[in-house]
Chains A and B, each alone.
Chain A
């Protein structure tokens, strides 16, 4: 069964305290892995796409990596404005399979 699992469900960090979010998947025929950020009351906002194992992408304090079974979103020296829910999704055909997200809170 196609499945995307994110951990942890929730994460509280002090400002400046680096950490990683995990996304593991069992989707066959993977065509890409996507990271989105979602703020309360808004739709998901695109962050990264990763297409093959070993690939890495960076944007400001965020860095996404991909292996054959999982992806990590590393957050370096986070700031309060990084607080949001981070969603992982894998693409197969014309459909996304989403994880349930990690709710990140960064405390000043």
Chain B
């Protein structure tokens, strides 16, 4: 059974640019959540999508957006990149989206903004 796949694994972008990250959930999973991980803040919740609808959003600026497609694949976009956006971006999938049942995480995309 394939796990959660995130692409690309590594990215280097320049301040002011925009970036799109991709996440393919486990087959059959309809919920995809995105988290930002930094050494100082740990994992911070960005947003959660279920059946193409954003159901919950964390406390991040509007530069961070996402979407989910009909096949449950999800993309996350960050516009006007800032140095502080450098982080490991993790995607997690679950069958129903209820955290109660646990999530399976991908290996993440390491974004470096220079």
A residues with a Cβ closer than 8 A to B are: 31-32, 34, 36, 41-46, 49, 87, 89, 91-101
Q: Within 8 Å CB of B64, what residues of A?
A: none
Q: Within 8 Å CB of B98, what residues of A?
A: 31, 91, 93-94
Contact of A94 among B42, B44, B48 (CB under 8 A): B48
Query: How many B residues touch the partner, as a band?
Result: 20 to 34
Are A98 and B100 in contact, with the CB atoms below 8 A? no
Q: Does B66 contact A (CB under 8 A)?
A: no
Among A49, A89, A95, max chain B CB count under 10 A is at A95
Residue of B nearest to A30 (CB): B100
Are A95 and B108 in contact, with the CB atoms below 8 A? no
- Tell whether A43 pairs with B100 under 8 Å between CB atoms, given A96-B45, A101-B42: no
Query: What are the 8 closest A-B residue pairs judged by CB atoms, nearest first?
Result: A91-B99, A43-B105, A100-B42, A98-B43, A31-B100, A94-B97, A43-B107, A44-B105
- Count: A-B pairs, CB below 8 Å: 70
Are A94 and B99 in contact, with the CB atoms below 8 A? yes
Complex-state Cα separation, A89 to B35, whole angstroms: 13
Are A87 and B43 in contact, with the CB atoms below 8 A? yes
Residue of A nearest to B58 (CB): A95
Residue of A nearest to B99 (CB): A91
Among A34, A44, A92, A94, max chain B CB count under 10 A is at A94
Interface residues of B in 88-114 (CB under 8 A from A): 90, 92, 97-100, 102-108, 110
- Tell whether A46 pairs with B104 under 8 Å between CB atoms, given A98-B42, A100-B41: yes
